[in-house]
């Protein structure tokens, strides 16, 4: 079980070191039921559809229905009490649990909304560190983008608030944590084909949703993918994302091993940079390391520009075909995301995923 304490006693100082390992959680046969948390944290609801929205899902196991309905009723009462007004959230509305991770500008904690006991991830960003690094606009952009993206495979930003020293992002809690940790724990450090295909399909679908709203993620990698309680992908960390209605950008950003040729060469680019990253991701899922990884940074740049991909023997022809169609130097030659989802390797392997 989780231990929670009062929010005023456990929020630490700004973290300086990079991300630490996510602590494993033991659910002890708990069944996690999908609830409508967005409605708890959003602004208004009409009275006529409250009963329908806060009803127990049909997929809920019979033995869990009573407890789930109690939680839903608490959520509904919370919404009704606002009388259509915006609720001003503060840190006092949450009990704080164990740290889930830390970064240069703050920490992420497991948290629980006090009135409903609904669990969330609470990301704390320290204003002083953001100002020092001149990242204020980047954080505002991250909030703006993630607030408007609603998709089963995108981590939901439920709400946000701030005080004199911190910005708080209330995020959906992805119970199984970072996908990267699961990748490292696999035999030979790589996923079996069915799991890899399932994850690539879900990331492709999430990216397609982003692109429909003119959002380029620009930092796809296993560390920025989480797993929910059912083992499904949650695309997270929109810190390098950009809303680009004009499509063309020139900023070089992201992670070295995942940079596409057009970024390395300093050229304009569009949402097709995410296609390239998906190809690198698929390769890493199946091999356990990125395709252009080198001991020297200049060698990595050279291999990216040459699209120098070497496949181990265990990577089968259909998987190679998909990867090769995403890792094309010319962005316009890369396989569109809709075609990724129906590629023969994805269709055949995804059907066997757990």
Residue 324: CB atoms within 10 A of its CB come to 15
Q: Which entry of 95, 205, 219, 257 is annotated as an active-site residue?
A: 219
Check whether 172 is labelled as a binding-site residue.
Answer: yes
The full length of the chain comes to 354
Q: Which two tokens stand for residue 347?
A: 């269709």
User: 95, 4 in Cβ contact below 8 A?
Assistant: yes
Is residue 95 annotated as a catalytic residue, yes or no?
no
Instruction: With CA atoms as reference, report the closest residue to 343 among 327, 329, 325, 322.
Output: 322
Check whether 237 is labelled as a binding-site residue.
Answer: yes
Check whether 27 is labelled as a binding-site residue.
Answer: no
Residue 67: CB atoms within 10 A of its CB come to 13
Residue at token pair 């030979």: 188
φ, ψ for residue 61, nearest 5 deg: -60, 140
Q: Which two tokens stand for residue 6?
A: 């009062």
CA distance to 164, 171, 288, 336, per residue, from 255 (Å): 32, 23, 16, 22
Three-state DSSP at 171 gives strand
**Residues paired with 95 in a beta bridge:** 6, 112
Check whether 174 is labelled as a binding-site residue.
Answer: yes
Order of strands, sheet of 5-6, starting from the edge strand that comes earlier in the sequence: 5-6, 94-103, 106-113, 119-126, 166-172, 157-162
Pairing of strands 225-227, 177-178: antiparallel
Check whether 214 is labelled as a binding-site residue.
Answer: no
Give catalytic residues, as residue numbers.
219
């Amino acid at each position: 079980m989780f231990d929670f304490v009062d929010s005023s006693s456990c929020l630490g100082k700004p973290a300086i070191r990079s991300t630490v390992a996510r602590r494993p959680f033991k659910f002890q046969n708990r069944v996690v039921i999908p609830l409508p948390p967005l409605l708890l944290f959003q602004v208004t609801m009409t009275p006529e559809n409250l009963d329908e929205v806060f009803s127990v899902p049909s997929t809920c196991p019979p033995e869990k229905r009573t407890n789930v309905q109690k939680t839903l009723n608490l959520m509904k009462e919370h919404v009704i009490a606002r009388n259509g007004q915006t609720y001003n959230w503060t840190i006092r509305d949450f009990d704080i649990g164990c740290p889930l991770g830390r970064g240069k500008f703050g920490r992420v904690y497991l948290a629980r909304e006090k009135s409903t006991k609904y669990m969330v991830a609470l990301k704390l960003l320290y204003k002083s560190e953001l100002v020092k690094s001149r990242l204020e606009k980047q954080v505002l952009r991250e909030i703006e983008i993630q607030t408007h993206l609603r998709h089963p495979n995108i981590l939901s930003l439920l709400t946000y608030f701030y005080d004199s020293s911190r910005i708080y992002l209330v995020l959906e809690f992805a119970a199984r944590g970072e996908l990267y940790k699961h990748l490292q724990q696999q035999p030979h450090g790589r996923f079996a084909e069915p799991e890899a295909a399932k994850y690539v399909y879900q990331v492709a679908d999430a990216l397609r949703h982003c692109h429909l709203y003119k959002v380029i993620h620009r930092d796809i990698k296993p560390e920025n993918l989480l797993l929910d309680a059912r083992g499904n992908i949650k695309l997270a960390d929109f810190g390098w994302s950009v809303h680009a209605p004009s499509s063309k950008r020139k900023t070089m950003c992201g992670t070295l091993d995942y940079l596409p040729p057009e970024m390395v060469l300093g050229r304009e680019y569009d949402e097709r940079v995410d296609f390239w990253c998906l190809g690198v991701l698929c390769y890493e899922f199946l091999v356990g390391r990125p395709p252009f990884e080198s001991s020297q940074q200049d060698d990595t740049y050279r291999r990216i520009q040459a699209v120098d991909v070497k496949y181990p023997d265990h990577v089968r022809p259909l998987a190679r075909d998909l990867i090769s169609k995403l890792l094309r130097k010319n962005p316009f030659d890369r396989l569109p995301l809709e075609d990724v989802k129906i590629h023969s390797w994805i269709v055949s392997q995804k059907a066997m995923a757990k």
